[in-house]
Structure 1
């Protein structure tokens, strides 16, 4: 779960309720009330009240085994988030995933220190590929997606050497920084002056054909920039 530091202007109760949703999002097969209580560090009775409230809003549901799962009420809440961006990007990332035979991703800067995966597209014809869920939060200075975004900015004295290298070559490469033993190659999407910076990239097992992959990722980033206007 995301590490949020509470201050005096925040609601501790709401914070705990939101942590229930974050916990369930990481366990789509469901959790018991006791497991939820242990996961967010509260008494079982308190966790039960959180679950009952979230059930009333259809944000969680109980399956036949009485395990708590994410509910359908989350869908309309998430659907408006970057709707136009995801709609435009989806066919381009589908094409990128199939051309590379690798999982493609669209990542957006969340805050000064983090990026979040907005869209993850798996290749349709690859025999094996990497799988991870949209919504994943990672440090901006770890992994090719965040480093590509940093490389699109002016150089800083305290930046990683890999960011400077990405700025020089035009794309970022990482290995094992987000998913163990997995390569990432990403390019920033240009022209996002008034919107959150974004990058597109692929995650794959082998980077033997780096130049070809970099060309495909860069072309996808440029096409997405043109499509977004």
Structure 2
């Protein structure tokens, strides 16, 4: 995990506590206290205090081997996040993944530079499918999900040709930009002002007919937009 300095005017202790949680997300089988200290670049004593505080709030826990992993308290904190969007999106994603026999994803804009994987639904009958980690952050300028969101805005000087192309045809296509060999096809979801910028799409190993898949994705985006309207 790359260690970053807290921004000016923010809490250094809280910053380190959040770094612990982010580190544990990357290691679902847990880490030792020493590994956590090394991972976020603090003394073992500091790591011990951080972990004890997170344990007190059920945000992490230790097993009988003293390995530390994420705690169940995170479920309670995460449950309300974009609940309406996720609730409405799930049946649309399920229909999309059944139609395409590929993993369907819902992505929201996190900030000016990144998008976050909010939900992924995997096909039930496909022999093979793409799997991503829910919550992962990716650059908005790479991958079909971010490109589709950018394409929903007006043209800007120096934008990628893929963004311009996505604006013209209504969906974005990328290959190998988020994971090697994986093609993404995404379309923007028109949402209200209270909703984050959102895209819906497919991730698959092969896309022999991206136009046909693109139209499936656009139809799904329109359905979700109507539900959110």
RMSD of the TM alignment (CA)?
1.4
Q: CA deviation at 1:209?
A: 2.0
Q: Distance in 1 between matches of 2:15 and 2:45?
A: 17
Q: CA deviation at 1:95?
A: 1.3
Asked whether the equivalents of residues 3 and 41 of structure 2 are also in contact (C-alpha less than 8 Å), the reply is no
Q: For 1:131-150, list aligned pairs within 5 A.
A: 131-150=131-150
SS in 1 for 2:61: strand
Alignment TM-score, normalising by the size of structure 1: 0.96
Q: Deviations over 1:27-72 (max 9, x none)?
A: 1111111111111011112111111111111000112322111000
**What is aligned with 2:180?**
180
4+ residue runs over 3 A deviation = 1-5, 191-194
Q: Distance in 2 between matches of 1:3 and 1:202?
A: 32
**What is aligned with 1:116?**
116
Q: Deviations over 1:148-168 (max 9, x none)?
A: 000011111121111001111
Q: Deviations over 1:166-220 (max 9, x none)?
A: 1111100001111111100000012434432100001100010212211111111
Q: Distance in 1 between matches of 2:189 and 2:5?
A: 31
Q: Which runs of 5+ in 2 are unaligned?
A: none
Q: Which runs of 5+ in 1 are unaligned?
A: none
SS in 2 for 1:123: coil
